[in-house]
Amino acid sequence: MTTTKIRPRHLVRASGGPRYAVAMAVDALGTGLLRPFLLLYGVSVLGLSAPATGAAMTAGAVVGLVCVPVVGRWLDRGARSSVVAASMLVRVVGVALLLGAPAGDIPLFTAAALFLGIGNQAWPPAHAALVATIAHGRERDAALAGGRALRNAGLGAGALLATACMAGGTAALQVLAAVTGVSYLASAALARSVHVSARPAAALAGEGGEEPAPRMGALLGANVIYVFCLNVPEVALPLILVTQLHASPVWSGVVFVANTVLVVTLQVPVTVVMSRFPRRSVLAASGVVLAASYLGFFAAGSLGRGWTAPAVVVVSVVCTLGEILYAGSATALVTVLAPDRVLGRALARFQLSSGFGLAVSPAAITALTSHGTAVLWGSLSAATLLSAGAVATGTHPATDCAVTTPRSSSATANRSRRRRKQGASTGSTGAQVTTRGSSSE
Protein backbone atom coordinates (compact mmCIF):
# COMPACT_ATOMS: atom_id res chain seq x y z
CA MET A 1 0.00 0.00 0.00
CA THR A 2 1.40 3.38 -0.98
CA THR A 3 1.50 6.39 1.30
CA THR A 4 0.86 10.06 0.71
CA LYS A 5 3.85 11.76 -0.93
CA ILE A 6 5.23 15.04 0.34
CA ARG A 7 4.68 17.77 -2.24
CA PRO A 8 5.58 21.09 -0.62
CA ARG A 9 3.32 23.15 -2.88
CA HIS A 10 0.34 20.87 -2.28
CA LEU A 11 1.10 20.77 1.44
CA VAL A 12 1.05 24.57 1.67
CA ARG A 13 -2.21 24.69 -0.28
CA ALA A 14 -3.78 22.02 1.94
CA SER A 15 -2.67 23.97 5.01
CA GLY A 16 -4.56 27.10 3.96
CA GLY A 17 -2.35 28.64 1.31
CA PRO A 18 0.80 30.81 1.38
CA ARG A 19 -0.82 33.73 3.21
CA TYR A 20 -2.16 31.49 5.93
CA ALA A 21 1.24 29.80 6.28
CA VAL A 22 2.85 33.22 6.74
CA ALA A 23 0.15 34.10 9.28
CA MET A 24 0.95 30.95 11.30
CA ALA A 25 4.67 31.64 11.17
CA VAL A 26 4.30 35.28 12.28
CA ASP A 27 1.87 34.31 15.05
CA ALA A 28 4.19 31.55 16.31
CA LEU A 29 7.19 33.88 16.23
CA GLY A 30 5.33 36.43 18.35
CA THR A 31 4.17 33.80 20.80
CA GLY A 32 7.72 32.48 21.10
CA LEU A 33 8.94 36.00 21.88
CA LEU A 34 6.65 36.50 24.85
CA ARG A 35 5.36 33.18 26.21
CA PRO A 36 8.56 32.01 27.95
CA PHE A 37 9.05 35.42 29.55
CA LEU A 38 5.52 36.40 30.56
CA LEU A 39 6.25 35.45 34.16
CA LEU A 40 9.48 37.43 34.04
CA TYR A 41 7.60 40.43 32.60
CA GLY A 42 5.21 40.46 35.54
CA VAL A 43 8.02 40.17 38.06
CA SER A 44 10.65 42.41 36.47
CA VAL A 45 8.65 45.06 34.62
CA LEU A 46 5.51 45.33 36.76
CA GLY A 47 7.17 44.51 40.07
CA LEU A 48 4.64 41.79 40.99
CA SER A 49 5.44 38.91 43.30
CA ALA A 50 6.20 35.59 41.66
CA PRO A 51 3.22 33.79 43.30
CA ALA A 52 0.79 36.53 42.22
CA THR A 53 2.17 36.49 38.68
CA GLY A 54 1.94 32.72 38.44
CA ALA A 55 -1.60 32.70 39.82
CA ALA A 56 -2.67 35.30 37.25
CA MET A 57 -1.19 33.26 34.41
CA THR A 58 -2.90 30.10 35.67
CA ALA A 59 -6.23 31.92 35.93
CA GLY A 60 -5.84 33.13 32.36
CA ALA A 61 -5.22 29.61 31.08
CA VAL A 62 -8.17 28.15 33.02
CA VAL A 63 -10.64 30.82 31.94
CA GLY A 64 -9.35 30.41 28.40
CA LEU A 65 -10.46 26.78 28.56
CA VAL A 66 -13.94 27.86 29.66
CA CYS A 67 -14.27 29.82 26.42
CA VAL A 68 -13.38 26.85 24.19
CA PRO A 69 -16.97 25.47 23.95
CA VAL A 70 -18.06 28.85 22.58
CA VAL A 71 -15.40 28.52 19.91
CA GLY A 72 -16.71 25.05 19.03
CA ARG A 73 -20.25 26.34 18.53
CA TRP A 74 -18.94 29.23 16.43
CA LEU A 75 -17.07 26.77 14.22
CA ASP A 76 -20.21 24.68 13.79
CA ARG A 77 -21.94 27.76 12.43
CA GLY A 78 -19.52 27.60 9.51
CA ALA A 79 -16.82 30.08 10.59
CA ARG A 80 -13.22 29.12 9.94
CA SER A 81 -10.66 31.82 9.07
CA SER A 82 -12.63 34.39 11.05
CA VAL A 83 -12.25 32.27 14.21
CA VAL A 84 -8.52 31.87 13.63
CA ALA A 85 -8.20 35.63 13.13
CA ALA A 86 -10.26 36.30 16.26
CA SER A 87 -7.99 34.06 18.36
CA MET A 88 -5.07 36.22 17.23
CA LEU A 89 -6.86 39.54 17.75
CA VAL A 90 -7.82 38.55 21.29
CA ARG A 91 -4.14 38.21 22.06
CA VAL A 92 -3.51 41.71 20.65
CA VAL A 93 -5.86 42.97 23.37
CA GLY A 94 -3.90 40.99 25.94
CA VAL A 95 -0.59 42.51 24.84
CA ALA A 96 -2.11 46.02 24.85
CA LEU A 97 -3.27 45.52 28.43
CA LEU A 98 0.15 44.20 29.34
CA LEU A 99 1.88 47.26 27.93
CA GLY A 100 -0.62 49.60 29.56
CA ALA A 101 -0.43 48.05 33.02
CA PRO A 102 1.33 50.29 35.57
CA ALA A 103 3.77 48.84 38.05
CA GLY A 104 2.09 46.77 40.76
CA ASP A 105 -1.26 46.52 38.93
CA ILE A 106 -2.19 42.86 39.34
CA PRO A 107 -5.78 43.26 37.95
CA LEU A 108 -4.54 44.54 34.57
CA PHE A 109 -1.86 41.86 34.38
CA THR A 110 -4.51 39.24 35.17
CA ALA A 111 -6.76 40.66 32.44
CA ALA A 112 -3.85 40.55 29.99
CA ALA A 113 -3.12 36.93 30.92
CA LEU A 114 -6.83 36.16 30.47
CA PHE A 115 -6.98 37.48 26.90
CA LEU A 116 -3.70 35.78 26.02
CA GLY A 117 -5.06 32.54 27.49
CA ILE A 118 -8.30 32.78 25.51
CA GLY A 119 -6.38 33.24 22.27
CA ASN A 120 -3.97 30.41 23.03
CA GLN A 121 -6.82 27.99 23.78
CA ALA A 122 -9.02 29.07 20.85
CA TRP A 123 -6.37 28.79 18.16
CA PRO A 124 -5.81 24.97 18.02
CA PRO A 125 -9.44 23.91 17.33
CA ALA A 126 -9.94 26.83 14.93
CA HIS A 127 -6.81 25.93 12.97
CA ALA A 128 -7.69 22.22 12.87
CA ALA A 129 -11.21 23.02 11.63
CA LEU A 130 -9.84 25.29 8.89
CA VAL A 131 -7.43 22.62 7.66
CA ALA A 132 -10.18 19.97 7.82
CA THR A 133 -12.34 22.21 5.61
CA ILE A 134 -9.68 22.50 2.92
CA ALA A 135 -7.82 19.20 2.97
CA HIS A 136 -9.13 15.63 2.93
CA GLY A 137 -7.88 12.14 3.64
CA ARG A 138 -4.22 11.70 4.47
CA GLU A 139 -3.41 15.02 2.86
CA ARG A 140 -5.20 16.57 5.85
CA ASP A 141 -2.99 14.63 8.26
CA ALA A 142 0.13 15.90 6.50
CA ALA A 143 -1.24 19.46 6.52
CA LEU A 144 -1.93 19.32 10.25
CA ALA A 145 1.56 17.92 10.81
CA GLY A 146 3.06 20.66 8.64
CA GLY A 147 1.24 23.31 10.65
CA ARG A 148 2.63 21.90 13.88
CA ALA A 149 6.17 21.80 12.49
CA LEU A 150 5.90 25.38 11.27
CA ARG A 151 4.50 26.53 14.60
CA ASN A 152 7.27 24.81 16.56
CA ALA A 153 9.86 26.43 14.32
CA GLY A 154 8.33 29.86 14.93
CA LEU A 155 8.08 29.29 18.68
CA GLY A 156 11.68 28.14 18.87
CA ALA A 157 12.97 31.04 16.79
CA GLY A 158 10.97 33.51 18.88
CA ALA A 159 12.27 32.06 22.14
CA LEU A 160 15.87 32.18 20.92
CA LEU A 161 15.47 35.77 19.75
CA ALA A 162 13.91 36.76 23.06
CA THR A 163 16.74 35.08 24.96
CA ALA A 164 19.28 37.04 22.94
CA CYS A 165 17.44 40.28 23.73
CA MET A 166 17.32 39.65 27.48
CA ALA A 167 20.55 41.56 28.01
CA GLY A 168 18.53 44.74 27.50
CA GLY A 169 16.71 44.28 30.81
CA THR A 170 13.15 45.45 31.44
CA ALA A 171 13.18 47.79 28.44
CA ALA A 172 13.89 44.82 26.19
CA LEU A 173 10.95 42.91 27.69
CA GLN A 174 8.62 45.82 26.89
CA VAL A 175 9.93 45.98 23.33
CA LEU A 176 9.42 42.21 22.96
CA ALA A 177 5.83 42.57 24.18
CA ALA A 178 5.18 45.37 21.67
CA VAL A 179 6.65 43.33 18.81
CA THR A 180 4.48 40.41 19.88
CA GLY A 181 1.35 42.57 19.67
CA VAL A 182 2.28 43.77 16.20
CA SER A 183 2.93 40.20 15.05
CA TYR A 184 -0.47 39.06 16.36
CA LEU A 185 -2.18 41.93 14.52
CA ALA A 186 -0.38 41.15 11.25
CA SER A 187 -1.10 37.44 11.49
CA ALA A 188 -4.78 38.09 12.21
CA ALA A 189 -5.07 40.23 9.07
CA LEU A 190 -3.37 37.56 6.97
CA ALA A 191 -5.49 34.74 8.41
CA ARG A 192 -8.74 36.63 7.84
CA SER A 193 -7.77 37.38 4.25
CA VAL A 194 -7.94 33.74 3.17
CA HIS A 195 -11.77 33.81 3.55
CA VAL A 196 -12.37 30.14 4.36
CA SER A 197 -15.74 29.08 5.76
CA ALA A 198 -17.88 25.94 5.81
CA ARG A 199 -21.52 25.10 5.64
CA PRO A 200 -23.34 25.68 8.95
CA ALA A 201 -24.34 22.66 11.00
CA ALA A 202 -28.01 23.57 10.56
CA ALA A 203 -27.71 23.35 6.78
CA LEU A 204 -25.95 20.00 6.99
CA ALA A 205 -28.65 18.66 9.33
CA GLY A 206 -31.31 19.84 6.87
CA GLU A 207 -29.73 17.71 4.15
CA GLY A 208 -29.98 14.51 6.11
CA GLY A 209 -26.77 14.97 8.06
CA GLU A 210 -28.28 13.91 11.38
CA GLU A 211 -25.35 11.71 12.30
CA PRO A 212 -24.86 10.96 15.97
CA ALA A 213 -22.11 12.86 17.72
CA PRO A 214 -19.09 10.58 18.27
CA ARG A 215 -18.49 9.14 21.71
CA MET A 216 -14.90 9.98 22.40
CA GLY A 217 -14.78 9.54 26.16
CA ALA A 218 -11.91 7.05 26.10
CA LEU A 219 -9.99 9.11 23.54
CA LEU A 220 -10.43 12.35 25.47
CA GLY A 221 -9.49 10.71 28.76
CA ALA A 222 -6.40 9.15 27.22
CA ASN A 223 -5.48 12.49 25.66
CA VAL A 224 -5.24 14.10 29.11
CA ILE A 225 -2.44 11.64 29.92
CA TYR A 226 -0.83 11.76 26.49
CA VAL A 227 -0.27 15.53 26.59
CA PHE A 228 1.97 15.09 29.64
CA CYS A 229 4.66 14.21 27.10
CA LEU A 230 4.61 17.82 25.85
CA ASN A 231 5.75 19.05 29.26
CA VAL A 232 8.38 16.38 29.86
CA PRO A 233 11.19 18.28 28.03
CA GLU A 234 10.17 21.62 29.58
CA VAL A 235 9.24 20.61 33.14
CA ALA A 236 10.18 17.05 34.12
CA LEU A 237 13.65 16.72 32.60
CA PRO A 238 15.03 20.11 33.74
CA LEU A 239 13.68 19.40 37.22
CA ILE A 240 15.26 15.96 37.35
CA LEU A 241 18.56 16.95 35.72
CA VAL A 242 19.23 20.00 37.89
CA THR A 243 17.71 19.18 41.28
CA GLN A 244 18.22 15.42 41.55
CA LEU A 245 21.01 14.46 39.16
CA HIS A 246 22.93 17.70 39.79
CA ALA A 247 23.76 18.04 36.11
CA SER A 248 24.58 21.31 34.40
CA PRO A 249 21.54 23.34 33.23
CA VAL A 250 23.13 23.21 29.78
CA TRP A 251 21.83 19.67 29.42
CA SER A 252 18.26 20.91 29.85
CA GLY A 253 18.86 23.33 27.00
CA VAL A 254 20.22 20.50 24.85
CA VAL A 255 17.06 18.46 25.47
CA PHE A 256 14.80 21.40 24.58
CA VAL A 257 16.71 22.26 21.39
CA ALA A 258 16.83 18.61 20.30
CA ASN A 259 13.09 18.27 20.88
CA THR A 260 12.32 21.38 18.81
CA VAL A 261 14.63 20.42 15.95
CA LEU A 262 13.28 16.87 15.76
CA VAL A 263 9.66 18.03 15.74
CA VAL A 264 10.33 20.63 13.04
CA THR A 265 12.25 18.24 10.79
CA LEU A 266 10.45 14.93 11.36
CA GLN A 267 6.79 15.77 12.08
CA VAL A 268 5.67 15.75 8.45
CA PRO A 269 7.84 12.86 7.17
CA VAL A 270 6.92 10.59 10.08
CA THR A 271 3.21 11.41 9.71
CA VAL A 272 3.37 10.61 6.00
CA VAL A 273 5.22 7.34 6.55
CA MET A 274 2.71 6.28 9.22
CA SER A 275 -0.24 7.02 6.90
CA ARG A 276 -0.19 3.36 5.86
CA PHE A 277 -1.60 2.49 9.31
CA PRO A 278 -4.92 3.43 10.93
CA ARG A 279 -4.66 6.61 12.98
CA ARG A 280 -5.96 4.88 16.10
CA SER A 281 -3.20 2.26 15.85
CA VAL A 282 -0.57 4.98 15.45
CA LEU A 283 -1.96 6.84 18.44
CA ALA A 284 -1.86 3.67 20.55
CA ALA A 285 1.69 2.96 19.38
CA SER A 286 2.74 6.46 20.40
CA GLY A 287 1.63 5.66 23.94
CA VAL A 288 3.80 2.55 23.98
CA VAL A 289 6.81 4.55 22.74
CA LEU A 290 6.21 7.26 25.33
CA ALA A 291 5.86 4.73 28.14
CA ALA A 292 9.09 3.04 27.06
CA SER A 293 10.88 6.40 27.06
CA TYR A 294 9.66 7.14 30.60
CA LEU A 295 11.14 3.84 31.76
CA GLY A 296 14.29 4.77 29.84
CA PHE A 297 14.56 8.01 31.80
CA PHE A 298 14.36 6.03 35.02
CA ALA A 299 17.06 3.64 33.84
CA ALA A 300 19.28 6.54 32.73
CA GLY A 301 19.14 7.99 36.23
CA SER A 302 20.81 4.88 37.65
CA LEU A 303 23.95 5.29 35.54
CA GLY A 304 27.10 6.91 36.79
CA ARG A 305 27.21 10.70 37.06
CA GLY A 306 29.27 11.09 33.90
CA TRP A 307 26.82 9.04 31.84
CA THR A 308 23.45 10.05 33.25
CA ALA A 309 22.94 13.38 31.48
CA PRO A 310 24.00 12.12 28.01
CA ALA A 311 21.77 9.06 28.46
CA VAL A 312 18.82 11.30 29.34
CA VAL A 313 19.41 13.26 26.12
CA VAL A 314 19.44 10.04 24.09
CA VAL A 315 16.23 8.78 25.70
CA SER A 316 14.63 12.19 25.11
CA VAL A 317 14.93 11.48 21.38
CA VAL A 318 12.74 8.40 21.87
CA CYS A 319 10.28 10.49 23.88
CA THR A 320 10.17 13.07 21.09
CA LEU A 321 9.44 10.36 18.53
CA GLY A 322 6.49 9.27 20.67
CA GLU A 323 5.36 12.90 20.83
CA ILE A 324 5.60 13.15 17.02
CA LEU A 325 3.50 10.00 16.57
CA TYR A 326 0.94 11.38 19.03
CA ALA A 327 0.73 14.81 17.41
CA GLY A 328 0.47 13.34 13.92
CA SER A 329 -2.49 11.10 14.72
CA ALA A 330 -4.56 12.50 17.61
CA THR A 331 -6.12 15.63 16.08
CA ALA A 332 -6.38 13.93 12.69
CA LEU A 333 -8.33 11.09 14.31
CA VAL A 334 -10.80 13.53 15.83
CA THR A 335 -11.39 15.22 12.46
CA VAL A 336 -12.40 11.93 10.82
CA LEU A 337 -14.45 10.60 13.74
CA ALA A 338 -16.59 13.73 14.03
CA PRO A 339 -19.47 14.31 11.60
CA ASP A 340 -19.33 17.63 9.78
CA ARG A 341 -22.14 19.15 11.80
CA VAL A 342 -20.32 18.67 15.14
CA LEU A 343 -16.72 19.06 14.00
CA GLY A 344 -16.27 22.33 15.89
CA ARG A 345 -17.65 20.96 19.13
CA ALA A 346 -15.61 17.74 18.80
CA LEU A 347 -12.40 19.70 18.30
CA ALA A 348 -13.35 21.96 21.20
CA ARG A 349 -13.81 18.96 23.48
CA PHE A 350 -10.44 17.62 22.35
CA GLN A 351 -8.82 20.98 23.09
CA LEU A 352 -10.42 20.98 26.54
CA SER A 353 -8.80 17.63 27.30
CA SER A 354 -5.45 18.86 25.95
CA GLY A 355 -5.64 22.14 27.85
CA PHE A 356 -6.59 20.38 31.05
CA GLY A 357 -3.71 17.93 30.70
CA LEU A 358 -1.24 20.74 30.04
CA ALA A 359 -2.60 22.72 32.98
CA VAL A 360 -2.31 19.92 35.54
CA SER A 361 0.85 18.24 34.27
CA PRO A 362 3.38 20.66 35.88
CA ALA A 363 1.74 20.26 39.28
CA ALA A 364 1.41 16.50 38.85
CA ILE A 365 5.00 16.11 37.65
CA THR A 366 6.46 18.15 40.51
CA ALA A 367 4.31 16.33 43.07
CA LEU A 368 5.35 12.90 41.77
CA THR A 369 9.01 13.95 41.59
CA SER A 370 8.97 14.82 45.29
CA HIS A 371 8.43 11.10 45.97
CA GLY A 372 11.38 10.04 43.81
CA THR A 373 12.08 9.34 40.16
CA ALA A 374 10.75 5.79 40.42
CA VAL A 375 7.32 7.11 41.37
CA LEU A 376 7.41 9.77 38.66
CA TRP A 377 8.47 7.64 35.72
CA GLY A 378 6.64 4.54 36.92
CA SER A 379 3.36 6.43 37.29
CA LEU A 380 3.69 8.18 33.93
CA SER A 381 4.58 4.92 32.19
CA ALA A 382 1.69 2.98 33.73
CA ALA A 383 -0.85 5.74 33.04
CA THR A 384 0.31 6.13 29.44
CA LEU A 385 0.17 2.38 28.79
CA LEU A 386 -3.36 2.26 30.18
CA SER A 387 -4.30 5.18 27.94
CA ALA A 388 -2.76 3.45 24.92
CA GLY A 389 -4.79 0.35 25.74
CA ALA A 390 -7.98 2.40 25.96
CA VAL A 391 -7.27 3.93 22.55
CA ALA A 392 -6.38 0.60 20.94
CA THR A 393 -9.50 -1.20 22.20
CA GLY A 394 -11.86 1.57 21.16
CA THR A 395 -14.30 1.28 18.30
CA HIS A 396 -12.67 1.29 14.88
CA PRO A 397 -15.11 3.05 12.56
CA ALA A 398 -14.83 2.85 8.77
CA THR A 399 -13.47 6.39 8.68
CA ASP A 400 -10.26 5.36 10.45
CA CYS A 401 -8.59 3.09 7.92
CA ALA A 402 -5.29 3.40 6.14
CA VAL A 403 -6.42 4.43 2.66
CA THR A 404 -4.49 7.49 1.57
CA THR A 405 -6.93 9.26 -0.73
CA PRO A 406 -10.40 10.67 -0.16
CA ARG A 407 -13.41 8.77 -1.40
CA SER A 408 -13.84 9.76 -5.04
CA SER A 409 -17.46 8.65 -5.26
CA SER A 410 -18.60 11.39 -2.93
CA ALA A 411 -20.36 14.15 -4.86
CA THR A 412 -19.75 16.57 -2.05
CA ALA A 413 -16.03 15.90 -2.13
CA ASN A 414 -15.97 16.38 -5.89
CA ARG A 415 -17.72 19.73 -5.59
CA SER A 416 -15.31 20.78 -2.86
CA ARG A 417 -12.31 19.83 -4.97
CA ARG A 418 -13.63 21.83 -7.93
CA ARG A 419 -14.02 24.85 -5.66
CA ARG A 420 -10.47 24.44 -4.38
CA LYS A 421 -9.15 24.34 -7.96
CA GLN A 422 -10.83 27.68 -8.51
CA GLY A 423 -8.83 29.13 -5.61
CA ALA A 424 -11.48 29.01 -2.92
CA SER A 425 -9.47 27.10 -0.40
CA THR A 426 -6.59 29.57 -0.28
CA GLY A 427 -8.69 32.68 -0.50
CA SER A 428 -6.84 33.80 -3.64
CA THR A 429 -10.07 34.83 -5.31
CA GLY A 430 -11.97 35.79 -2.20
CA ALA A 431 -14.38 32.86 -2.63
CA GLN A 432 -15.55 30.71 0.26
CA VAL A 433 -15.34 27.00 0.85
CA THR A 434 -18.99 26.21 1.46
CA THR A 435 -18.70 22.57 2.49
CA ARG A 436 -16.29 19.96 3.67
CA GLY A 437 -15.77 16.89 1.59
CA SER A 438 -16.38 13.46 3.02
CA SER A 439 -13.97 12.71 5.81
CA SER A 440 -14.12 9.00 5.18
CA GLU A 441 -10.82 7.38 4.61
pLDDT-derived band at 88 (thresholds 50, 70, 90) equals very high
pLDDT of residue 183: 92
Q: Residue 420, CB half-sphere, CA atoms under 13 Å: how many?
A: 23
State how far Cα 179 lies from the chain centre.
23
Q: Which residues pair with 79 in a beta bridge?
A: 197
From 147, 121, 116, select the one nearest 31 (Cα to Cα): 116
Q: Cα separation of 169 and 172, whole Å? A: 5
- The pLDDT of residue 395: 62
Task: Report how far residue 110's alpha carbon sits from residue 116's, in angstroms, rounded to the nearest whole number.
Answer: 10
What pLDDT is stored for residue 391 in this prediction? 94
- 87-91, 189-193, 362-366: least confident range: 362-366
Residue among 346, 354, 344 at smallest CA distance from 72? 344
Q: CA-CA distance, 287 to 337, in Å (whole number)? A: 20
Q: What is the DSSP string of 258-326?
A: HHHHHHHHHHHHHHHHGGGS-HHHHHHHHHHHHHHHHHHHHHHTTS-HHHHHHHHHHHHHHHHHHHHHH
Phi, psi of 197 (to 5 degrees): -145, 175
Q: How many CA atoms, within 13 angstroms, populate the side-chain half-sphere of residue 58? A: 11
* Residue type, position 337, single letter: L
Rounded to whole angstroms, the Cα distance separating 92 from 86 reads 10
Cα Rg of the chain (Å, integer): 21
Cα-flanking dihedrals φ and ψ of residue 269, to 5°? Answer: -60, -45
Residues 6+ away with beta carbon under 8 Å from 284? 388, 389, 391, 392
Q: Max CA-CA distance within the chain? A: 67
* The predicted structure's pLDDT at residue 418: 45
Cα–Cα distances (Å) from 435 to 201, 215, 422, in that order, read 10, 23, 14
Q: Are 339 and 348 in contact (CB under 8 A)?
A: no
In the predicted structure, residue 14 carries a pLDDT above the cut 80: no
Q: How far is CA 178 from each of CA 45, 103, 141, 182, 394, rounded to the nearest angstrom?
A: 13, 17, 35, 6, 47
Q: What is the pLDDT of residues 202-256, one digit of tens each?
A: 555 555 555 556 778 899 999 999 999 998 888 888 888 887 788 877 888 888 8
Q: At what angle do helices 217-226 and 373-392 cross, to 10 degrees?
A: 150
- Least trusted range by pLDDT, from 105-109, 128-132, 165-169: 165-169
- Which of 194, 139, 175, 53 minimizes the C-alpha distance to 403? 139
The total of other beta-carbon atoms located within 10 Å of residue 228's CB is: 23
The confidence score (pLDDT) of residue 431 equals 37
Note the pLDDT of residue 127: 94
What secondary structure does DSSP assign to 49-82, as a single string? -HHHHHHHHHHHHHHHHHTHHHHHHHHHTTB-HH
pLDDT at 424 (0 to 100):
41
Residues forming beta bridges with residue 197, ordered by sequence position:
79
CB burial class (10 A; 0-12, 13-18, 19+) of residue 177? buried
Alpha carbon distance 280, 394 (integer Å):
8
Across the range 49-71, mean pLDDT stands at: 87
Residue 211 has what pLDDT?
57
Q: Specify the DSSP element, H or E, that contains 136.
A: none
With 60 as the cut, is the pLDDT of residue 427 above it? no
> What does the pLDDT read at residue 162?
82
- Whole-number Cα distances in Å, 298 to 242, 292, 354, 369: 15, 10, 25, 12
Residues near 92 by Cβ (< 8 Å), separated by ≥ 6? 181, 184, 185, 188
Mean pLDDT of the chain: 83
270-324: per-residue pLDDT in tens? 999 999 999 999 999 999 999 999 999 999 888 877 788 899 999 999 999 999 9
